[in-house]
Amino acid sequence: MSNLNSLAFFWPELLLSVTILVAIIADLIYVKKDSFKVAFWSLGGMFLTYIAIRIQSVEPTSLFMDTVAHDPFSQFFKILILISTAVVMLMSLVSAELKKYRIGEYFTIMTIMTFGLFLMSSSIDILMVYLSIEIVSIMSFFLAGYLKRNSLSNEASLKYVIYGAFSSGIMLYGLSILFGLTGTTKFFEMQKAISMLGPDSNVALILSAVFILVGFGYKISAVPFHFWTPDVYEGSPATITAYLSIAPKAAGFALMLRFFNQVFGTMPENASASWSAINGLPWPELIAVLSAATMTLGNLVAIQQSSVKRMLAYSSIAHAGYMMMALPMMSNSSIEGIMMYLTMYLFMNLGAFFVVIYVNDQIGGEEFSSFDGLGWKMPYVAIPMTLFMVALTGLPPTAGFVGKFYIFAAVIESGSKFYWLAFVGAINSVISLYYYIRVVKHMYLLGERSDEFINPSSKLVLGILLVLAVPSFVLGWYFSPVAEWISKSTVMFQGL
Amino acid sequence: MDHLLSWIIWLPVIGMGVIAFIPRDKSSLIKQAAALVSGIQLLLAIYLWSVFDASNGNLQFMERAEWIPSFNITYILGVDGLSLPMVFLMALIGFIGIFVSWNITNAVKGYFSLFLLLNTGVMGVFLALDFFLFYIFWEVMLLPMYFLIGMWGGPQREYAAIKFFLYTLAGSVLMLIAILALYFTCGNTFDMLLLMERAPVALDGMLWWGMSAIKVIWVLLFIGFAIKVPVFPFHTWLPLAHVEAPTAISVILAGVLLKLGVYGMLRINYTMLPDGVFWFAGALAVLGLINVIWGAMCALAQKDLKKLVAYSSVNHMGYTLLGMAAVIAASEMNGSNLISAQAGVGGAVFQMFNHGTISAMLFILVGVIYDRAHHRDIEGFGGLATQMPIYTAFVAIAFFAGLGLPGFSGFVSEAMIFIGAFPVFRTVVIISTLGILLNAAYFLWAFQRMFFGPANEKYNEIPEINRREVLTLLPLAIITLILGVYPRPFLDLIASTLNVLIESVVMYGGLAQGF
């Protein structure tokens, strides 16, 4: 579709761009203590964007001369990204650590990042892929270092920049090899060109695939590209940690699913591709091993942490591993599984991070011991936190179980070849119980029972807890609507 | 009455909702509400028993509702002769448990809410006929149990609670894999009735990694259930959890929760994987034997009365396994000995019920003495018979029932198990009768040390067992005595269902050999 015609389908992104401009201008007008009001402009713009997405057609098509796809698949991820951004913005309004700074541009940058994530989940051209990844990365560097008088935050930002630059450099190299082999930047033309390549270019193809995997692996923090995660997650403002653990990961998975399906897969009608386009590398097995390593390492290190925030950082690596379990299958149900997991993970993980933020503000400290006796002091926090921990472990009847159930189902459906992976995943869930339930132990089992009662600092706190806790519980036993939505959303744009 | 089974399952959750609205300082009102809800549940269970058609071996009072169509998940409930005794047992012990925990003072609201939630979880497992639903209820039990042990338990409660949680979860995730494997190999269904029809055919001859699919699924499910029973190498969580748990929770744990494992094996392994039964029966009998001997030996070595009772559970559940294994007597190659199979499996189910009532009594009695003396050291007492005569009488009843004295229900079920298993597992049965001897030894020796001999001066003023405690014990003692001399009503209740079960095991399991 030509550029001008494409604009008619680009409403959500255009609205988001206008929101960014409005936020920048609003930030110029407000004085420092009022600068948080930029959040309302951003939230309002994002609400309009959401409506724009919902009233758009679901007919798959491509925009801007085949660089951006417009399909239910990307719409699903856009909505996920919008929900997580909106919740994190609300969380940021509560968070005390941000109150010391002028906060207007914080919200502006988050909105720009949302724009980048939108493009990431819908790009079908390697230039657009790189561009969108860079938009997201650079905005993340800013946000990670937002606490500029805090040395940990500075360290986080610098580490993030170095790792990010390094991995996107490698990825770019992989993409350029791919361009050299195929002579095009568009996913579908690449796929056709790859299928016609002779065996002598196989080495170059494998090399480029591995390099590209490095870039994606970095984005979803898969082992062995995870080294940045704990330090960045610990140093960043907790709100941004929560955001980084959800939104870029969701977009990263979207990009990865689309790229591997459409470039390296032998793409038939619907999304059930195989990996046969690359010979000479046991590709599904490789990803399966990476997935097993990711969740095992994430879990084993999470056990040893004494800070809840750092524990959640490592556990988010483990969760990336669970989601990767479904990648090697490349079936429709594995895509559904990852989408379902991300949806459930959004609520429970944001909830867990929000509790950490709130407890840090009220009690001071992110250690396990700061949670001692919370069950008596702040039951309105402790009960949702118990729910979030149980959900992250994956116990029914909570949302986390449904996510795991879908992932396991995708693995087992593909036949006995990957049963070992399901075992590794199952054992890892048991390991994760140990550190998640430790939070519950500190809240209820340890610490003197006192009659001290800390009132919630604002209604907004209760509101956010409710918004995250209710889906974490209800979606655990009634997920039909979500399941239907997801099964409609696996439709990707399939080329011309 | 419509939706009787749903009412039985969800009534405690309604009770939880009611308790949530009672202010936390009105603790007696909370207890009364919990007692009322459990009481109604018990009445419903008795009503269910009275309208249940014992001559029909199939599932009755079926309920079916759409739940998650995209994954073929349905809300299916039903009751038969296998689950009905367990439902009654849970309702009874749940009701008694409320009164056993009457003197809980710490966080009363939380305690009784979790107690009721546990009740729902257990009832759900016994009545669910959709594998997904079954799994959800199976897991719903874990969290309340964790809190009940961890918050109201003894000095090592945190360790005991997490150990219980980790062990059971490890078992149940393996079960989840088996459930999904069954789902995808048997035509995308979680409906247990359909799986019973399809699984033996669909899995026949299927190989995974060079192993028979039937064996793989059998072992996965077995480990999940064996941890709950607990079968020998997986039993180490049990003594700890029992000792640290508050009295009422020990009662529920021993009385009902251990049965879930055996129930699961009979309901799922036996019906869906009959070939596996033949493959595994020998191992099952040997594991049962190990449980019997190991549990008894450990019990003999204990100085803590509660630990002794806990190990006696390991010992008693061993007999059930032995009885279950006897089902293969009915197959052709074992001489179509239907009577043996009926006696063995019937004895196993009867033993489950009897152990439920007897171990509940034992734990309540341990709780009674602990409340007064604040320790459970067997050696620390002596001559209690003169100081607490009524208590002594009750302990005597419970101990004698526990060691399988004729006249008590435990004797009937153990005898049935031995009779049933003897034709097929001769050596195992002969060795396991030794367990009976050890069984008598540890109970009688403990009885002698605690109640006879010179009285311990310290406990001259010890208060006698009170009326509330007697009332919690009385129904259990009466059931034990009546079923000891007249077990017929119970055996009639389960007979037709077990015949259907045995037939289906033999019908499929006899066919394929060396699969």
pLDDT band at A193 (very low <50, low <70, confident <90, very high): confident
Query: How many CA within 13 A on the CB side of residue B392?
Result: 17
- Over residues B15-52, the pLDDT tens digits come to 999 998 888 888 889 999 999 999 999 999 999 999 98
Chain B contact present for A278, CB below 8 A: no
Tell me which residue in A390, A430, A484 faces B170 most closely, judged by beta carbons: A430
**Coil, helix or strand at residue B254:** helix
- Within 8 A of A423 by CB-CB distance, chain B residues are 177
Q: How far does B134 lie from chain A, in Å, by closest CA?
A: 11
Q: How far does A358 lie from chain B, in Å, by closest CA?
A: 24
Number of domains observed in the structure of chain A: 2
Instruction: Please judge whether B165 and A433 are an interchain contact, meaning their C-beta atoms are less than 8 angstroms apart.
Output: yes
> Domain range spanning residue A407?
282-496
Tell whether A32 and A16 lie within a shared domain: yes
Cross-strand bridge partners of residue B207: B212
Query: Mutation test of the interface with chain A: which of B131, B143, B157, choosing the one with the most A Cβ atoms within 10 A?
Result: B143
pLDDT at B510: 54
Average pLDDT along chain A: 88
- The residue to which tokens 């940058």 are assigned: A109
Tell whether A38 and A165 lie within a shared domain: yes
Instruction: Give the least confident one: B94-108, B114-128, B322-336, B441-455.
Output: B322-336
Tell whether A53 and A101 lie within a shared domain: yes
pLDDT at B404: 84
Instruction: Please judge whether A401 and B139 are an interchain contact, meaning their C-beta atoms are less than 8 angstroms apart.
Output: yes
Instruction: Please judge whether A441 and B147 are an interchain contact, meaning their C-beta atoms are less than 8 angstroms apart.
Output: no
Instruction: Please judge whether A445 and B157 are an interchain contact, meaning their C-beta atoms are less than 8 angstroms apart.
Output: yes
Considering A257, A274, A291, which residue would you say is the last residue of a domain? A274
Tell whether A137 and A191 lie within a shared domain: yes
- The residue to which tokens 């793409």 are assigned: A267
Tell whether A218 and A302 lie within a shared domain: no
Q: What is the mean pLDDT of residues A9-14?
A: 89
d(CA B397, CA B62): 39
Chain A contact present for B135, CB below 8 A: yes
Query: Mutation test of the interface with chain A: which of B24, B25, B70, choosing the one with the most A Cβ atoms within 10 A?
Result: B70
Give the residue from chain B lying closest to A443, CA to CA. B151
Tell whether A265 and A296 lie within a shared domain: no
Residue pair B95/B109 in contact (Cβ under 8 Å)? The answer is no
Q: What are the DSSP calls for B139-169, one per residue?
A: HHTHHHHHHHHHHHS-TTHHHHHHHHHHHHH
Instruction: Please judge whether B165 and A487 are an interchain contact, meaning their C-beta atoms are less than 8 angstroms apart.
Output: no
Instruction: Please judge whether A483 and B71 are an interchain contact, meaning their C-beta atoms are less than 8 angstroms apart.
Output: yes
Residue pair B237/B167 in contact (Cβ under 8 Å)? The answer is yes
Residue pair B397/B278 in contact (Cβ under 8 Å)? The answer is no
- Over residues A49-70, the pLDDT tens digits come to 999 999 988 888 888 888 899 9
Considering A225, A254, A274, which residue would you say is the last residue of a domain? A274
Instruction: Please judge whether B177 and A444 are an interchain contact, meaning their C-beta atoms are less than 8 angstroms apart.
Output: no
Q: What share of chain B is helix, strand, coil (3-state, %, to 5)?
A: 75, 5, 20
Q: Is the pLDDT of residue A29 over 50?
A: yes
Distances (CA, A) of B388 to A328, B110, B394: 69, 34, 10
pLDDT at A252: 92
Instruction: Please judge whether A487 and B170 are an interchain contact, meaning their C-beta atoms are less than 8 angstroms apart.
Output: no
Q: What is the DSSP letter of B203?
A: T
H-helix segments, A441-475: 459-474
Tell whether A269 and A289 lie within a shared domain: no
CA B358: distance to chain centroid?
A: 11
Tell whether A197 and A288 lie within a shared domain: no
Give the residue from chain B lying closest to A430, CA to CA. B170
- Within 8 A of B158 by CB-CB distance, chain A residues are 441, 445-446
- The residues, ordered by sequence, that sit 6+ positions from A418 with a Cβ below 8 Å of its Cβ are A284, A288, A328, A329, A411, A412
Instruction: Please judge whether B174 and A396 are an interchain contact, meaning their C-beta atoms are less than 8 angstroms apart.
Output: no
Distances (CA, A) of A447 to A375, B165, B429: 9, 21, 51
Instruction: Work out the angle at residue B223's Cα, subtended by the Cα atoms of residues B412 and B168, and round it to the nearest 5 degrees.
Output: 95
Q: Is A158 exposed, middle or buried (0-12, 13-18, 19+ CB in 10 A)?
A: middle
- Over residues B353-407, the pLDDT tens digits come to 999 999 999 999 999 888 888 888 888 888 888 888 888 899 999 999 888 888 8
Q: How far does A398 lie from chain B, in Å, by closest CA?
A: 10
Q: What is the mean pLDDT of residues A250-257?
A: 91
- Over residues A120-170, the pLDDT tens digits come to 999 999 999 999 999 999 999 999 999 888 898 999 999 999 999 999 999
Q: What is the mean pLDDT of residues A390-413?
A: 91
- Within 8 A of B183 by CB-CB distance, chain A residues are 409, 412
Q: Is the pLDDT of residue B458 over 70?
A: yes
Segment 25-84 of chain B within 8 Å of chain A by CB: 67-71
pLDDT at A268: 47
Segment 367-406 of chain A within 8 Å of chain B by CB: 390, 395-397, 401, 405
Q: Is B108 exposed, middle or buried (0-12, 13-18, 19+ CB in 10 A)?
A: buried
Tell me which residue in B136, B150, B180 faces A408 most closely, judged by beta carbons: B180
Instruction: Please judge whether A430 and B158 are an interchain contact, meaning their C-beta atoms are less than 8 angstroms apart.
Output: no
Q: How far does A412 lie from chain B, in Å, by closest CA?
A: 6
Residue pair B314/B255 in contact (Cβ under 8 Å)? The answer is no
Instruction: Please judge whether A434 and B162 are an interchain contact, meaning their C-beta atoms are less than 8 angstroms apart.
Output: yes
Tell whether A208 and A347 lie within a shared domain: no
- The residue to which tokens 């955001």 are assigned: A243
Chain B contact present for A1, CB below 8 A: no
d(CA A57, CA A279): 38
Give the residue from chain A lying closest to B148, CA to CA. A445
Instruction: Give the least confident one: A249-253, B197-201, B395-399.
Output: B197-201
Q: What is the mean pLDDT of residues A338-362?
A: 93
d(CA B135, CA A484): 23
Tell whether A315 and A225 lie within a shared domain: no
Q: How far does A288 lie from chain B, in Å, by closest CA?
A: 17
Residue pair B383/B457 in contact (Cβ under 8 Å)? The answer is no
pLDDT > 90: percent of chain B: 39
Complex ipTM value: 0.90
Q: What is the mean pLDDT of residues B88-93?
A: 93
Give the residue from chain A lying closest to B168, CA to CA. A430
- Within 8 A of A429 by CB-CB distance, chain B residues are 169, 173
Q: How far apart are the first and last CA of chain B?
A: 46
Task: Report residue A225 as tokens.
Answer: 């590209």
Q: How far does A85 lie from chain B, in Å, by closest CA?
A: 29
Instruction: Please judge whether B135 and A396 are an interchain contact, meaning their C-beta atoms are less than 8 angstroms apart.
Output: yes
d(CA A214, CA A374): 41
Chain A contact present for B462, CB below 8 A: no
- Over residues A432-490, the pLDDT tens digits come to 999 999 999 988 888 667 777 888 888 899 999 999 999 999 998 888 899 999 988 88
Q: How far does A479 lie from chain B, in Å, by closest CA?
A: 7
Tell whether A257 and A296 lie within a shared domain: no
d(CA B124, CA B129): 9
Segment 283-342 of chain B within 8 Å of chain A by CB: none
Q: What is the mean pLDDT of residues A407-415?
A: 89
Considering A216, A240, A274, which residue would you say is the last residue of a domain? A274
Instruction: Please judge whether B184 and A397 are an interchain contact, meaning their C-beta atoms are less than 8 angstroms apart.
Output: no
Query: Mutation test of the interface with chain B: which of A390, A395, A478, choosing the one with the most B Cβ atoms within 10 A?
Result: A395
Instruction: Please judge whether B107 and A449 are an interchain contact, meaning their C-beta atoms are less than 8 angstroms apart.
Output: yes
- Number of A/B CB contacts below 8 angstroms equals 86
**Coil, helix or strand at residue B465:** coil
Task: Report residue B361 as tokens.
Answer: 């009594």
- Over residues B253-266, the pLDDT tens digits come to 998 999 999 999 99
pLDDT band at A280 (very low <50, low <70, confident <90, very high): low
- Within 8 A of A427 by CB-CB distance, chain B residues are 170, 173
Chain B contact present for A460, CB below 8 A: no
pLDDT at B515: 46
Q: Is A303 exposed, middle or buried (0-12, 13-18, 19+ CB in 10 A)?
A: middle
Residue pair A245/A237 in contact (Cβ under 8 Å)? The answer is no
Q: Which of A26-35, A110-119, A415-424 has the highest mean pLDDT?
A: A110-119
Q: Is the pLDDT of residue A274 over 90?
A: no
Instruction: Please judge whether A437 and B68 are an interchain contact, meaning their C-beta atoms are less than 8 angstroms apart.
Output: no
Give the residue from chain A lying closest to B207, CA to CA. A416
Tell whether A292 and A381 lie within a shared domain: yes
Q: What are the DSSP calls for A324-377, one per residue?
A: HTTGGG-SHHHHHHHHHHHHHHHHHHHHHHHHHHHHHHHT---BGGGGTTHHHH
Task: Report residue A376 as tokens.
Answer: 């008596």
d(CA B515, CA B493): 35
Q: Is the pLDDT of residue A18 over 50?
A: yes
pLDDT at A347: 94
Chain A contact present for B170, CB below 8 A: yes
pLDDT at B514: 44
Sign (positive/negative) of CA torsion B200, B202, B205, B206? negative
pLDDT at A386: 93
